[in-house]
Amino acid sequence: MAQQFEDTLFTDIFSKNKLSTGNLIKSHDAEINGVCKISYEEDYVDGIRILLKKDANDNIKEIKFVCSCGQTKSVILDYSE
């Protein structure tokens, strides 16, 4: 029963090679940053999805706005000093 209320954690992977195209990431081009939680909300009036990417401690790391027209804007938060 307790597992039903736990947040799902995803492995956060960063690709070093930005020049390649396609969906394939080779192992030498990938770096594992840790784990994250992903949730989203959708505004039905404007057709905008808001994706929240959090770390394992529930700190928001990235806010991504995805429009129904296909445009995407991201805000990345860095808590280090």
Residue range 14-43, pLDDT digits in tens: 776 666 566 777 777 788 877 888 887 777
Classified as helix, coil or strand, 40 is strand
What tokens does 23 get? 């969906």
Claim: this prediction has a pTM higher than 0.75: no
81 vs 46, higher pLDDT: 46
Report the chain's mean pLDDT, rounded to a whole number.
78
Residue 60 lies in a domain: yes
- Cα separation of the two ends of the chain: 40
Angle (CA) 57-65-26 rounded to 5° is 70
Residue 81 lies in a domain: no
What confidence score (pLDDT) does residue 7 get? 65
Residue 40 lies in a domain: yes
Residue 69 lies in a domain: yes
Q: Is the model's pLDDT at 9 over the cut of 80? A: no
Count CB atoms within 10 A of the CB of residue 53: 19
Confidence of residue 1 (pLDDT cuts 50, 70, 90): very low
Q: Is the model's pLDDT at 6 over the cut of 50? A: yes
Residue numbers of the domain that contains 43: 2-76
